[in-house]
Amino acid sequence: MGCFWAPQEAFLKVPGVTAAEVGYSWSGLGRTPANAAPDYDSVCAGNGFTEAVQVTFDPRVVSYEEVLGQFYELHDSTIEFPSGDQQYISAVWPTDEEQEAKAKAELDRRRAEAEAEAVAGGGLGRVRRPLTVVRSCEDAVFFKAEEYHQVGG
Does residue 3 have an active-site annotation? yes
Beta bridge partners of 57: 17
Cα–Cα distance between 85 and 73 in angstroms, integer? 22
Cα–Cα distance between 69 and 88 in angstroms, integer? 19
What total of structural domains would you count in the chain? 1
pTM: predicted TM-score of the whole model, two decimal places = 0.83
Give pLDDT tens digits for 1-18: 557 778 888 999 999 999
For residue 121, give its domain range. Answer: 5-149
**pLDDT more than 90, % of the chain:** 32
CATH number where 62 lies: 3.30.1060.10
The residue annotated as part of the active site, out of 2, 3, 27, 99, is 3
Give pLDDT tens digits for 44-99: 888 888 889 999 999 999 999 999 999 998 888 887 766 556 788 888 999 999 99
**Residues of 32-60 as b/e, b for ≥16 C-beta within 10 angstroms?**
ebeeeebbbebbeeebbbbbbbbbebeee
pLDDT at 47: 81
**pLDDT more than 70, % of the chain:** 83
